[in-house]
Chain A
Amino acid sequence: MRIDGMGVVGGFGCGISDLAAGMEEGRSPAEFFPLSTVHGELQVPMLLADTAVLSTMADRRTLRRIDHHTRMALLACLLAMEDAGISEPAAESLGIIVATGYGSTCNTFDIQELCPAADMRSFSPIQFSNSVHNAAGAHIAAVLRSRGPNLSINQFDLSIPMAFLTAAHWLAEGRVDRVLVGGVDDFARIMAYHRHCRFSGRQVGDSSPAAAAVGEGSAFFLVSDHAGSQDGVSVAWAESGFSDAPKIPGFDLCVIGADGFSPGEEAYGRCVSGPAACYTHLYGHLPVGMAFDVAAAVLSLRAERVYASAGGGVPMPGGPELISETRPLESGQIHCLKIGAAGGYGRVLLEKR
């Protein structure tokens, strides 16, 4: 399954050039923002996505009822198509797979907070429609006029490998010629508060994986069947499971999704014996963070170089040794590995042909 194009938006900026610049720079772009809590207003580091550029890429009237969650996903999709050099994919033969761990949390939490209260005046039909789980996929399909299969996948932080696996099945079955597959997650206030309680002693700019700020964003990939193609980056394997994670061959680079939130992250150290890289300081903690690891791996394969890890390679307790300096890529394969918060693992293997 070949990756024809990819689009990203997150706390690091918008587009693959911003992600590449962030990987070059190696510093966390997190900023402090106020967070209202029962204990008053707290200043919490966040990695928030700006989707303002979307209004220059799509009709404003079309966008008017689309909330922030869907805007991030739509923007990433349009950027992926732009990267692939495709303006209008064939309506019937484009599949859409949206992976999300939280769904449209801001919207959903706002609605849930209203439910037990007497004040139902703000329970707007438009707001409710955006809280429906497949809202992002439906809006993307409407904007792209896609009539192909459309699916939302939710397996928390292991949603991304399952999404890639599903895309590969669709392509193999000949159901579609192309799939827009990726992930999106909103900023989660609850996780930001959790993060504050757990890491409040740390500073912004501390880019060790154990201190990832809570983030939001979206990364999408336009993929097609690679049969016959001679070049490009492809997804060679995708899997998730609830047994022990597989051992990654020592000669291959592994991009790990360690962000300090999941118990058992020392498992990365047990299954990665070779070089490892971690870029969670750029996009933060969010369930579909693995989509950004895949994007980072694609950038590395395209440029044939490995970018230095968070904070120039701050070692994690019990974790693998992280690459501290940008250097040429020695292998044509990169593994992306995520150890799940509830156990299990997800792995995506990328290779350059």
Chain B
Amino acid sequence: MDSLAKSGNETLDIKESLKTIICRELYMEDIDPAQIGDDDLLFGEKFGLDSIDAVELVFQVKAHFGVAIRDMKEGRKVLQSINTLAAYIEAHRSA
């Protein structure tokens, strides 16, 4: 139970960190981290992120979490939303 709770908190931390990274490092000054939903499409109309942001996000994930996203096909799935990104980081951080 404790490890489950710990795991849940870690995931929550990762999600909050990712939202902050997206707002700060991608210069989304007009968006508050709280406005980013866990399942929102990151590369859709809502946030207007593009391929340059994808490259920056891959770099930031490596810099902050030590997790590399090397495969382009995999990257498409991983960068879909906060939930998919957090799940990938969690799965690969301890691996």
Contacts and interface: CB of A to CB of B under 8 A. Distances in A.
Interface of A: 60-61, 64-65, 121-122, 124-126, 129
Contacts of A129: 52
Nearest to B30: A60
Interface string B29-48: 11000000000000000001
A60 B27 CA distance: 10
Contacts of B26: 64, 126
Interface stretch (B9-17, B56-64, B68-76, B85-93): B56-64
A126 B52 contact: yes
Given A121-B63, A125-B59, A64 B52 contact: no
A129 B27 CA distance: 14
B79 to A, nearest CB: 14
Interface of B: 25-30, 48, 52, 55-56, 59-60, 63
A129 to B, nearest CB: 7
Given A64-B27, A65-B27, A125 B63 contact: no
Contacts of B29: 60, 64
A129 B55 CA distance: 12
A126 B52 CA distance: 8
B51 to A, nearest CB: 11
B42 to A, nearest CB: 15
B85 to A, nearest CB: 17
26 contacts: A60-B29, A60-B30, A61-B30, A61-B48, A64-B26, A64-B27, A64-B28, A64-B29, A65-B27, A65-B52, A121-B63, A122-B63, A124-B25, A124-B56, A124-B59, A124-B60, A125-B52, A125-B55, A125-B56, A125-B59, A126-B25, A126-B26, A126-B27, A126-B52, A126-B56, A129-B52
Going nearest first, the 9 A-B pairs with the smallest beta carbon separation are A64-B27, A121-B63, A125-B55, A125-B56, A126-B56, A61-B48, A60-B30, A125-B59, A65-B27
A125 B30 CA distance: 21
